[in-house]
Homo-oligomer: A and B are copies of this chain.
Amino acid sequence: MSDIRDLGVRAAELDARDELAGLRKQFVLDTVSDHAADAAGVYLDGNSLGALPANVSGQVEDVVRRQWGELRIRSWDESGWWTAPERIGDRIAPLVGAAPGQIVVGDSTSVNVFKAVVAAVRMAHSADGGAGRDEILVDATTFPTDGYIAASAARMTGCALRPVTPAQVPAALNDRTAAVLLNHVDYRTGRLHDLPALTAAVHAAGSYVVWDLCHSAGALPVGLDEHGVDLAVGCTYKYLNGGPGAPAYLYVRSDLQDRFDSPLPGWNSHAEPFGMRGDFEPAAGALRGRVGTPDILSMLALEAALEVWDGVSIEAVRAKSLALTDFFLECVGAYVGEGRVESVTPVAHAERGSQVALRCEGAGEVMKALIERGVVGDFRHPDVLRFGFTPLYVGFADVERAARVLGEVLAQVPGEVLEEGLPEGAA
């Protein structure tokens, strides 16, 4: 067990050695200070809504006042509005290991899951011998919207939906599998799934895989191109700090783009959008994933937010992320009474995303008390305290303080010692 007296010193040392520490000043955040604990805060909810990058306000003001207010309609060309979805997609691409020309930004994650899963099924059906593929596998532990949308995609493509845990996927794959929808990092437990191995297994079965990167993009290397992923979707308001409800993105691997047959063929995905033609001819490339008029205010806020990544290595982000979560687990072990919490996030680095989820009696009330003391995480039904660690702006002193305050809160709140582990299936 760690010596509590040393943890604060250790945190300061780790912060001093942190090569990403300088990025924090690019975000709007309270200063962490033990002497003014009520005023300062520790923000560990960047896995739900990333903090505001400092340059976004100015960019949004320019978009509203000058681009919209003065140039008005001319901005579709002159301010680059029309090409924003693919331009910003190319800015996200290196963060998820994709070459340019494969990502477009727009719509919500849910809408992009629909496009991707339907398109994946159609790719399977259009392949030799694909007619008999009538099953979609979906991560049974997924964020619910993916499951709901996958069910709709199944219903509308004549498939059955089969929920399985990611671990069960290899055994569940067969020549009836049309498509597989998986989450890279589980939203609740923070478990990182094995994208390379699962992608290879899906391909070996002659099927297509859609990865949801909401909880991994911007926190760890994804390697979409390297691992031959077929399709992927993700949001931009978590580790990419694009702002509340910022547009999501869709990746379609370049050699599959000609076969990407969208269920939402809006005019923005037409080869000649201003031809106003009655017949639909899909655009070449990633543009085929576009649908309607892009949401410019949110999209250009995101574009500004992505500037913080200039020169940042995602490998360095990953290294810091693991150091932060390791240190948090160590501090929790030191500060929190025995048996009051149980981590449902894997200890193995290869299985851990950038969050720590602690099972805790009365988790909803505990999180309220933490937030009152300036430590902001979130509560996930039914009993999980979720803490997200955003390496761009979270430091080791934040981590130490969060664990310490958690210990104080639990010492004051009546609670039973946990007696049983979380069931395997719910993890």
Chain A residues within CB distance 8 Å of chain B: 28, 43, 45, 48-49, 51-52, 56-57, 60-61, 64-65, 67-70, 72-76, 81, 107-111, 114, 140, 143-145, 147-149, 151-152, 156-157, 163, 188, 235, 237, 243-248, 262-268, 270, 274-278, 280, 291-299, 301, 371, 376, 378, 380-381
14 contacts between A and B (CB under 8 A): A64-B243, A72-B376, A73-B376, A110-B292, A111-B292, A114-B264, A144-B267, A144-B278, A148-B280, A149-B265, A151-B280, A163-B278, A245-B293, A245-B299
Please determine whether B293 and A149 come into contact, CB atoms closer than 8 angstroms.
no
Complex CA–CA separation, A190 to B170 (angstroms): 57
Please determine whether A246 and B72 come into contact, CB atoms closer than 8 angstroms.
no
Please determine whether B243 and A109 come into contact, CB atoms closer than 8 angstroms.
no
Please determine whether B301 and A64 come into contact, CB atoms closer than 8 angstroms.
yes
Residues of B with C-beta under 8 A to A147: 278, 280
Complex CA–CA separation, A228 to B258 (angstroms): 43
Complex CA–CA separation, A59 to B235 (angstroms): 24
Name 20 extra pairs, CB < 8 A, besides A244-B293, A245-B296. A43-B72, A48-B73, A57-B65, A60-B60, A60-B64, A68-B243, A110-B266, A111-B266, A144-B270, A144-B276, A148-B267, A148-B270, A149-B266, A152-B263, A156-B263, A235-B293, A246-B295, A295-B295, A297-B301, A298-B298
Number of copies: 2
Distance (whole angstroms) from the CB of A162 to the closest CB of chain B: 13
Residue of B nearest to A157 (CB): B156
Residues of B with C-beta under 8 A to A73: 45, 48-49, 376, 378
Complex CA–CA separation, A101 to B366 (angstroms): 35
Contact flag A49-B72 (CB < 8 Å), given A267-B148, A293-B245 = yes
Residues of B with C-beta under 8 A to A268: 110, 145
Distance (whole angstroms) from the CB of A67 to the closest CB of chain B: 8
Residues of B with C-beta under 8 A to A293: 108-109, 235, 237, 244-245
Contact pick for A291, options B49, B68, B108, B296, CB 8 Å: B108
Complex CA–CA separation, A361 to B275 (angstroms): 17
Contact pick for A297, options B65, B245, B248, B264, CB 8 Å: B245
Please determine whether B237 and A108 come into contact, CB atoms closer than 8 angstroms.
no
Residues of B with C-beta under 8 A to A246: 295, 297
Residue of B nearest to A371 (CB): B74
Distance (whole angstroms) from the CB of A93 to the closest CB of chain B: 22
Distance (whole angstroms) from the CB of A80 to the closest CB of chain B: 12
Q: List the 9 closest A-B pairs by CB distance, nearest first.
A: A108-B292, A110-B266, A110-B292, A244-B296, A145-B267, A52-B69, A245-B295, A28-B69, A148-B280
